[in-house]
Amino acid sequence: MASSNTKALSEHRGDAMLKAEFKGIGIFLFWISGIINVLALTGSFYMLQIYDRALTSGSVQTLVALSMLAIGLYLSQGVFDIIRSQILVRIGGRLDRILAPIAHRVSVDMPRFGFSTSEALERGRDVDTLRGFMGSQGPMALFDLPWVPIYILFVYLLHPVLGAVTLGGAIVLTLLTVLTELRSRKLSSTAQQANVLRNNIADSNARNADILKAMGFAGRAVARFTAANQEHVQLQTKASDIIGTFSALSRVLRMLLQSALLGIGAYLTIKGQMSAGSIIAVSVASSRALAPIDLAIGNWKGVVAARQAFKRLRETMVALGGVSGPLDLPAPKHSVKVEKITVSAPATGRVLLSEVSFELKAGQALGIIGPSGGGKTTLIRALTGIWPTLRGGVRLDDADLNQWDEDVIGQYVGYLPQEVALLDGSVIENISRLDPQRDGKAIVAAAMAAGIHEMIVRLPEGYDTQLGPMGTALSAGQRQRVGLARALYKDPFLVIMDEPNAFLDAEGEQALNVAISRIRARGGIAIVVAHRPNVLAEVDLVAVIQNGKLTAFGPKDQVIATHRPTIVPNPVNTPAPAAATAARTEYRTIQNGSATA
């Protein structure tokens, strides 16, 4: 654990070194672009020498020597161009390796703060956008832009008038680039927001496909998506029209400028102020001078998208970079304290829970009851750290949750949410929380504690059975019991369950009560949210949450006697105390016998 914290701290300290490293690569690319642009003058010099020296002298040897030299310079330019291109591609790959895990971590965290799945996945798409841009023509144009003065100077040396015309053309094209940026910036940002909205609707429709089909409003859902999609397409079309228009204007102006330079050059040649070879040399050099500007305008859509993606990723890096790694703390063994916590919904800021306080000792189990919408699930989210508290704190052995490393505290907390969503993986991966060590004994023990060992071994591939997206290969009750096994994996100190018997039958509820009894027996703490009394058989304390307040807390019999209407009775399949005792005996027998075998 110490090594993981040290690694996290070293990664944060390495951000400055990483920036310095990419800065060095940028400087190298700048100078190699200078070499490429100097070598790009080969065509101009070659034409100048052919017309003014080889043709006038009639020397074949001079022509061959000039041609061999030009071929060598062209090949050198090609080699440097390949090197630059490959470096840019590798920079994109390197950025992806660095940013993709961070972006995905943010994507995992964003939904619990009220963001949609589509918004969360935008960070991953930003990484793809940035990597794709680094492999395009856009970065090459940007690296070539600073070297445009080389060509303008070359043309100026051939004749000042032609140099002035080339400079004027470069200024006009630069102004077009600025106008493209000013006109497209707001549209691109609005189009991005419309794209997120469209993706949110598409994601919502996909997740509610069964409801749309069963109740016959899939057509209206598609119409809603169509309207959002049309708005996105219209904004994208406007942005593309602006960029396309300025790109076409730049190409036309570039062609006009080249023709003007040829005409002026011909006039100056007629007047004897420059040679015929200079006309061709000016045409080649001016074309090269204006090409980066024209290319930048043509790729401006990619430039804008990459800049926006980089801005969002940089904000993500800064936010995560400011988080320091907490110190290692000893495993909690004694208590859970809730000290006057106030919690609001991250998406709206509305306060859902206010001034809640209680304390649990090792070996105790708390049942949380109360009407729907009273704040029970909000309390659970605060206890697990899913939602931050506005005021107050949750403490394990007197240490606030913020003092624990997230990966470390996960070893001591088990959580069964109200809606169980399993990972797209095997039974083993789901129960073991993707533990790479594949601790078979701990996995089987957790499955037996949840009462699903026999069900698992009857699956086609047993514990290696793939469950599919969201665990759809299992029924709702089976998913809930696999989720319970995941919560119980390796006997965490604190196990929190939000309505764990919502989809369970009588056998499942018996196994659940056995699990709660076992948590208490080994000195752990169990917290259970319940609407039915069956699951409260093994708890010794009960809390009542109503209207965001803790209205009662104390021994189970005493609290239930005064708040019985708060719990929905369930006379069907209610396991008697004797049945629960028998289930516990059977579980211990299996654990001591079959599990060892």
pLDDT tens-digit readout, 21-66: 577 788 888 899 999 989 988 888 888 888 878 777 778 888 898 8
In this predicted model, what pLDDT tens digit does every residue of 99-122 receive, in sequence order?
888 888 777 777 777 676 777 777
Report how far residue 26's alpha carbon sits from residue 28's, in angstroms, rounded to the nearest whole number.
5
Degrees to nearest 5, angle at CA 522 with 519 and 528: 20
Q: What is the pLDDT of residue 13?
A: 42
Range in 185-199, 219-233, 361-375, 399-413 with the lowest mean pLDDT: 185-199
Side-chain-side CA neighbours of residue 309 (13 Å): 26
The phi, psi pair for 332, rounded to 5°, reads: -65, 140
Contact (CB, 8 A) for 414 and 492: yes
The phi, psi pair for 253, rounded to 5°, reads: -65, -35
Report how far residue 520's alpha carbon sits from residue 173's, in angstroms, rounded to the nearest whole number.
76
Paired tokens of 433: 């929380």
pLDDT at 583 over 50: no
In this predicted model, what pLDDT tens digit does every residue of 479-500 receive, in sequence order?
888 999 999 999 999 999 988 8
Classify the C-alpha dihedral 356-358-364-370 as positive or negative: negative
Residue 82 banded pLDDT, cuts 50, 70, 90: very high
Which ranges of 271-299 does DSSP label H, i.e. alpha helix?
276-298
User: What domains appear along the chain, each with residue ranges and CATH number?
Assistant: 2-321 (1.20.1560.10), 335-412+492-592 (3.40.50.300)
Chain mean position to CA 92: 17
In this predicted model, what pLDDT tens digit does every residue of 527-564 receive, in sequence order?
999 877 777 888 999 999 999 999 999 998 888 877 66
Q: What is the pLDDT of residue 566?
A: 52
Contact (CB, 8 A) for 70 and 78: no
pLDDT at 342 over 90: yes
The phi, psi pair for 271, rounded to 5°, reads: -80, 0
Report how far residue 297's alpha carbon sits from residue 291's, in angstroms, rounded to the nearest whole number.
10
Element (H, E) at 136: none
Rounded to whole angstroms, the maximal C-alpha distance in the chain is 116
Average confidence score pLDDT of the chain:
81
Higher pLDDT, 476 or 378: 378
Report how far residue 367's alpha carbon sits from residue 185's, in angstroms, rounded to the nearest whole number.
54
What's the DSSP call for residue 310?
Answer: H
Paired tokens of 92: 């994109």
Higher pLDDT, 584 or 257: 257
pLDDT at 308 over 90: no
Beta bridge partners of 498: 529
Q: Which long-range contacts (CB under 8 A, 24 or more apart) does 343-349 make?
A: 343/378, 343/379, 343/381, 343/382, 343/387, 343/388, 343/389, 343/390, 344/390, 345/114, 345/378, 345/387, 346/112, 346/113, 346/114, 346/387, 346/388, 347/113, 347/114, 347/115, 348/114
| Beta sheet of 335-344, edge-to-edge order | 351-361, 335-344, 391-396, 399-400
Q: What is the pLDDT of residue 61?
A: 87
pLDDT at 301 over 90: no
Contact (CB, 8 A) for 525 and 519: yes
Report the predicted TM-score, pTM, of the whole model to 2 decimal places: 0.68
What's the DSSP call for residue 391?
Answer: E
Of the candidates 88, 99, 139, 84, the one whose C-alpha atom is nearest the C-alpha of residue 11 is 99
Of the candidates 331, 376, 341, the one whose C-alpha atom is nearest the C-alpha of residue 524 is 331
Any residues with CB less than 8 A from the CB of 374 and at least 6 apart, and which? 545, 546, 547, 548
Report how far residue 280's alpha carbon sits from residue 340's, in angstroms, rounded to the nearest whole number.
82
In this predicted model, what pLDDT tens digit does every residue of 373-394 receive, in sequence order?
888 989 998 998 888 888 999 9
Contact (CB, 8 A) for 395 and 361: no
Higher pLDDT, 324 or 506: 506
Residue 575 CA: distances (Å) to CA of 77, 481, 499, 541, 583: 83, 17, 17, 20, 10
**Residue 44 burial (C-beta neighbours within 10 Å; 0-12, 13-18, 19+):** buried
